[in-house]
């Protein structure tokens, strides 16, 4: 693209700031306007990003009426994604929504349907699949370097449950179902879907160990079965130091990727303290090959993919379909917990959401 795409943003909280800072480093996209119901937030956001030329919009309608705006980013609470996405689509603007695509899978499917209904694209911010190490894993798998992939491990954990109070929304089961299952594991469900292929069934167990007394579970272990026979483990703990790791086991080799979660909000620095290695054939850990992780920025990259979708009308990686598969996997895990760990078919969850 010779000229950057101008986009707006709805919801001017913490994550809107993360994305707007990421857009500063891009020559493909500019966040030039935004809306919040709070005049105070609009004024503060405009002042903080004055160097980018950002001007807040007095109303949602005013932002959507601007013909120079080609797309709009959604960073409002999950339960509001559908109503906001509908407004954007009706105005003929392309949609970017933060993950998850929606609080409910039925809403996510309706957001996906807006594409055909209004001729727009929907990009979902599952940025973790754009991490350099994850991309390198996918490249090695596709090139056949790991052989037949049989097993995948993924873990995303942190100490959040030790800090919860009744004043935080993550305390409550209806706002954060499954605790870290919906807040962290949803990233990993998307990654194992990327690496493993079409998902067939999910089984999960959970427990509550944090002493603070929150409603939500704070530990979960999920098993995923793919249509091709590959299986995966997705684990998440909300009472431990932070970790983000992915491991892929194949007949010719295995790969391990681990991110320093302390630099998550500054992804351009992730490669400096992260690790990626490959073991080939019968080699053990001592003969591993440490791989160089290139510098990248998953937040800038996802915004640039959104800019590209505004031009081409296609969404190759961060699609609404992929976003809905991640939610379906999460919902299958929640159903499995209610069924004492029984396997739950993802198609069953999808079909129920379509009928809702």
Tokens (6 digits) for 190? 């998307």
Contact 224, 232 (CB under 8 A): yes
Half-sphere exposure of 132 (CA within 13 A, CB side): 21
Tell me which DSSP letter residue 349 carries. H
pLDDT in tens, 152-198: 999 999 999 999 999 998 999 988 999 999 999 999 999 999 999 99
Determine the pLDDT at residue 356: 84
- The whole-number pLDDT of residue 1 equals 62
At residue 266, the pLDDT reads: 84
User: Which residues touch 9 (CB under 8 Å, ≥6 apart)?
Assistant: 16, 19, 20, 31, 33, 34, 35, 72, 73, 74, 75
3-class SS of residue 113? helix
- Give me the residue spans of the domains in the chain: 5-128+300-316, 129-297+330-338
Spatial separation of the C-alpha atoms in residues 230 and 106, rounded to whole Å: 28
Q: Which of the residues in the chain have pLDDT under 70?
A: 1
Contacts of 253 (CB under 8 A, 6+ apart): 140, 145, 146, 147, 278, 279, 280, 281, 283
Q: What is the pLDDT of residue 83?
A: 98
DSSP character string of 40-106 = HHHHHHHHHTGGGT-EE-SSHHHHHT-TT--EEEE-S-GGGHHHHHHHHHHTT-EEEEESSS-SSHH
Whether 238 contacts 218, CB under 8 Å: yes
* CA distance linking residue 234 with residue 188, whole number of Å: 7
Report the CATH architecture of 129-297+330-338: 2-Layer Sandwich (3.30)
- Residues 197 and 1: their CA atoms lie apart, in Å, by 31
DSSP 257: E
Strands in 344-345's sheet, in edge-to-edge order, are 289-290, 275-280, 253-259, 243-250, 149-157, 231-237, 219-226, 199-207, 344-345
pLDDT at 265: 78
Torsion region of 204: left, alpha or beta (phi above 0 gives left; psi -120 to 50 gives alpha): beta
Beta bridge partners of 290: 277
Check: CATH 3.40.50.720 for 5-128+300-316?
yes
């Amino acid at each position: 693209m010779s000229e950057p795409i101008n986009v707006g943003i709805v919801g001017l909280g913490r994550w809107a700031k993360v994305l707007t800072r990421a857009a500063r480093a891009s020559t493909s996209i500019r966040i030039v306007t935004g809306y919040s119901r709070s005049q105070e937030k609009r004024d503060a956001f405009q002042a903080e990003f004055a160097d980018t030329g950002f001007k807040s919009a007095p109303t949602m309608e005013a932002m959507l009426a601007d013909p120079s705006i080609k797309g709009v980013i959604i960073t409002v609470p999950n339960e509001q994604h559908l109503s906001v996405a509908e407004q954007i689509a009706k105005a003929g603007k392309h949609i970017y929504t933060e993950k998850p695509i929606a609080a409910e899978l039925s809403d996510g499917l309706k957001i996906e349907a807006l594409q055909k209904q209004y001729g727009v694209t929907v990009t979902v911010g599952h940025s973790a699949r754009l991490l350099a190490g994850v991309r390198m894993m996918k490249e090695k798998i596709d090139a056949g370097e790991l052989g037949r992939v049989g097993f995948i491990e993924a873990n995303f954990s942190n100490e959040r449950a030790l800090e919860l109070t009744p004043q935080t929304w993550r305390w409550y089961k209806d706002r954060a179902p499954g605790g870290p299952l919906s807040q962290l594991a949803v990233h990993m469900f998307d990654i194992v879907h990327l690496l493993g292929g079409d998902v067939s069934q999910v089984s999960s167990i959970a427990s509550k160990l944090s002493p603070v007394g929150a409603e939500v579970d704070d530990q979960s272990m999920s098993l995923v079965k793919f249509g091709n026979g590959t299986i995966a483990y997705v684990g998440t703990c909300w009472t431990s130091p932070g970790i983000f790791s992915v491991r892929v086991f194949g007949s010719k080799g295995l790969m391990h990727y681990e991110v320093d979660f302390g630099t998550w909000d500054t992804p351009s620095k992730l490669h400096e303290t992260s690790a990626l290695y490959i073991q080939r054939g019968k080699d053990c850990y001592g003969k591993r090959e440490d791989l160089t992780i290139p510098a990248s920025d998953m937040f800038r990259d996802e915004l640039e993919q959104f800019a590209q979708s505004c031009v081409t009308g296609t969404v190759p990686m961060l699609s609404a379909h992929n976003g809905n598969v991640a939610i379906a996997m999460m919902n299958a895990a929640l159903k499995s917990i209610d069924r004492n760990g029984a396997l739950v078919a993802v198609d069953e969850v999808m079909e129920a959401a379509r009928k809702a």
